Structure 1
C-alpha cells in the first residue's frame, strides 16, 4: 500500500474529531431548544420563511449491475419516506477505486458523507482518523445492536467498539453437482466435510475429462481455511489485541491447506483454473468440475445457472479432521460515516443506516442480492421465507454462519496492508500449484513479505 495519507493539520483534525464526537454523543438539542409553549410568536416575516432544506447525504458505493439497481431502490424508498434527509448514491467503481478516491478527498470537502468499504479495508479506515465510529451514534441513540447478527458484527468490532455498520455480507461454501455425485456412486445428500473426504470424492468424480474439483486461487479462501481451523492469520490476536506485526500464513493451518490443495492438483482430481472465481463458476455450471468454492452471494446465480442441467448441492467449508473450533469469517463490505462532514450530515447518514437495518429492508436486500441479512428478524419476513423455499441451499450458508464459534480466529484478521497481503498469498498459492515451490517454502516467503509490509505500515501510522 502507498504510504498512508494523513491529515494535513493534525491539530485541526483532532479538534474536529473531538467536536463531532461531543456533538454526536448528545441528544439533538437544536430541535428542542425552544418548545411550542415558550417560543415567541412568529412574526409575519418568519411565517413566510421557506422551510429548511433537507440534509443531503452523499453515499459512495461499489455495487454495479443488479446490485446497483437494488441500492437505487433502497435509496429511492428512503428518500420518499424521509423528507428531512435525502441520500444520493454515487457508484465509484471497484472497492479499491472507491477507497483510493476517498483517500484523495480526505483533505477536501469533496468526499462522501458515507462510504462502503470492503472488509479488508477496515484497519486502514480506523487508522485514517477520517471516520466517526458507528459506536458513537449507537451509544447516543441507545440503538439496540442485539437485533443484529453477532457473528457479522464481530468482524467490524475492534477494542469492543463498532467502527462501521455491516452492509453486504457473505461467506464461502462448497458447491457440488448432485448429478455427478450420483453418477460416481457418491451419496448426493452426504457431501464431504473434511479435507480427506473432499480429496477422496474428487478422485471418484474425476473421469471422462471432467475434474472432481476446482478452487480459485483466491486469498480470501486461505483466510477462511485458517478461521475454520480456529487458527489466527496474524499475531497479536489476529491484529485485534494490538496491531499485527507478523503474518502467520506459514503456520500449520496454512501448510496443511496448501499441501491438500496441491495434492489434488498434482493427481489431476482438481483443476487449477487460476485466480478468478468467475472461471471456476463457469466450469462448474458447464458440468466440467463437480465441486467448487464460492461466495454465498453467488448462490442464486449458480442455482439459476444450473437450472435444467443439474441439481446444485451446498455444504460447509471443509477443514482437516480434528481441527480446532472455528467457522467462517464474513466477507463483503460495511458502511463508514466520514467525520469531515457537518453534524447534520453525519446524523443524516446514521438515519439512513438505521433504515437499512430494518427487517423488511434487509429481507429485500438479501433476496435481491444473495447477501446475508444482518438483522435477525429479516428471516421472519414473508419475502425471506419464500426465498428460502425457492433456494433451500441458502440454509447451508445461514447454518454455517450461526454455527461459527466466536473467537479471534473467526472474528477475522485486521491489518492496514490487507489488499497487498492477499495478493502475496495468492502468488504463493500459484507458485505452489505450479510446482515452483514447496508449500512451506512458498508460505514462509509470503509471511516474511507481509510482515515487512506490516512493519512499514505500522511506522507510518505511528
Structure 2
C-alpha cells in the first residue's frame, strides 16, 4: 500500500457531510453466546497439558448503520458468529459514511483500522485510487463464487474494468411517493402516478389549485440530479461517466441538466410545488403531515413512510419521472458496499470475505430487506416466503423492485464515478438552490457548477497521476 498516495488523496478530497437516511446512534449489544466456539467433550481422567486450540480469526467491520438499521446489523453479525467457529466478526458503528471514511484514512499508518468497511457508493473511486483495498474479485476467483446470483444492476455500479472491487450490501434508489387521498380530492386518478415531468407539472398544478405549493416538494439533494440524468440515459461525466477512463469534465450543464432544473424551477415559480430546502427529512415530514401531495425519497424510506401515513392517508408510489421522449435509462443504485482492507493479514481478509458471502445469502438478504427496506442484492431472496409475505403486506415495494429491474444497464445507469463526488454533490445542491431562489437562471447556475466540479476533478486527478 502506498501511504503517501493515500495522504495525497486525503488532502485532495475534503469530504463533505451528507444527509443520510440512517440515524447515527446504535446501542445494539451482541448476545452473550455470539461467537462461542464448539469443542469436543474432554475425558474425565486428569488431563495432560491441553493442546493448543486454534483461535478464531477476528474481523473488525466498520459500518454506518445507526438506530433501527444498527439493530438489524447486530442481528446479522450475531447469526454469523453463532454459525462460524473459525471467524468472529465485531461490528463497530463509526457514524456517518463521511465520518467513517475519514476515520479509516486516519488509521492507515497505525494499522488500527478495520478489516472491512462499509463505504457509500460515491466513495468508490476514492477507495480504488487509495490503493488501500484488496478487490473482492480476488476471492471471487479463488472460490469460483457465482456472481450471477446477484442483481446485475447492482453489480454494475461496483464493477470497474470487468472487476468487482467491493461487495454490495445496502442498496436503494429514488421513487415518487404520492398521497392517494389528495389525488382523489383533486380529481386525479389515484392509481395513475405521473410518469413524466409534464405529467407531474399538470398533477401538481391541480393539487395546488386551492392551496398554493401543495402539489409537491423535492428536496435539494444532489443524488436526485444524478438520478434525473440517468433516467434520461444521459451521462453525468465525460469518459463514459468516468468508467472508460478517469473523468475530466462535468456534464452537469448539458441538455439533461438544464431541462431538469428548468422544470424544477417552473414547478416552484408557478406555485405548483414548494421549496423546503436540502433536507429530505423536511419533505418527508411535510408529506406525512398532508402538506404536500408528492415527493421523492429513497426506497429505503418506503416502509417508514407507509407506516407513518397509516390511519391518515393511503400512500402510492411510482417510478422516477423523466421528460417526455427521453432516451432509455433508469435509476442508479444508491447505498453502500463493503470493502476489504489490504493492510490486514491474509487470514483476516479471507474471514471478511466469508462474512460478505454470508451477508449475500438469500435468507440473510431477506431479513435485511424486510427489516430495513433496502433491496435484496441476491435474486433468490425474492423466493423466500418472508419476502413474499412482506410484499403482500407492503405492495408499494413492488414498484421499487420493478423500477430496479426495468433499468437498462448502460454507462448512464451504471453510475458516474469520481474521486470528489461528495464535494460535487454539495456544488450541485448550491446550483439548484441558486436557480430555485431566483439568483441565477438554470443554464448559468449549471454552467458555474459544472466548471467548479471540473476544477475539483482535475485537481484530484493530479494527485493520482502515475
Give the structure-1-normalised TM-score.
0.90
Per-residue deviation, 1:48: 3.0
Per-residue deviation, 1:207: 3.7
CA distance in 2 between counterparts of 1:441 and 1:148 reads: 42
* Aligned with 1:393 (options 385, 393, 396): 396
| Alignment map for 1:43-442 (pairs within 5 Å) | 48-209=50-211, 211-442=214-445
Per-residue deviation, 1:109: 1.4
Q: What secondary structure, in the 3-state scheme, does the structure 1 residue paired with 2:169 have?
A: strand
Per-residue deviation, 1:8: 7.9
Deviations along 1:191-220, one digit per CA (max 9) or x if unpaired, are: 110000000000000144361000000000
Most deviating of 103-112 and 53-62? 103-112
CA distance in 2 between counterparts of 1:232 and 1:438 reads: 22
Structure 2 match to 1:42: none
**Structure 1: runs of 5 or more not aligned:** 10-44
Contact 2:5 2:463 in 1 (8 A): no
Structure 2 match to 1:20: none
Structure 1 match to 2:37: none
CA distance in 1 between counterparts of 2:413 and 2:269 reads: 30
**Structure 2: runs of 5 or more not aligned:** 9-46
Per-residue deviation, 1:379: 0.4
Per-residue deviation, 1:6: 2.4
Structure 2 match to 1:6: 5
Per-residue deviation, 1:50: 2.1
CA distance in 2 between counterparts of 1:191 and 1:457 reads: 42
Deviations along 1:232-254, one digit per CA (max 9) or x if unpaired, are: 00000000000000000101000
Q: What secondary structure, in the 3-state scheme, does the structure 2 residue paired with 1:180 have?
A: helix
Contact 1:5 1:103 in 2 (8 A): no
Q: What secondary structure, in the 3-state scheme, does the structure 2 residue paired with 1:6 have?
A: helix
Most deviating of 210-219 and 420-429? 210-219
Structure 2 match to 1:14: none
Q: Root-mean-square deviation (CA), in Å?
A: 1.5
Q: Between Structure 1 and Structure 2, how many residues are aligned?
A: 425
Contact 2:64 2:95 in 1 (8 A): yes
Contact 1:60 1:92 in 2 (8 A): yes
Give the structure-2-normalised TM-score.
0.90
Per-residue deviation, 1:46: 10
Q: What secondary structure, in the 3-state scheme, does the structure 2 residue paired with 1:49 have?
A: coil
CA distance in 2 between counterparts of 1:72 and 1:107 reads: 29
CA distance in 2 between counterparts of 1:90 and 1:313 reads: 37
Q: What secondary structure, in the 3-state scheme, does the structure 1 residue paired with 2:335 have?
A: strand
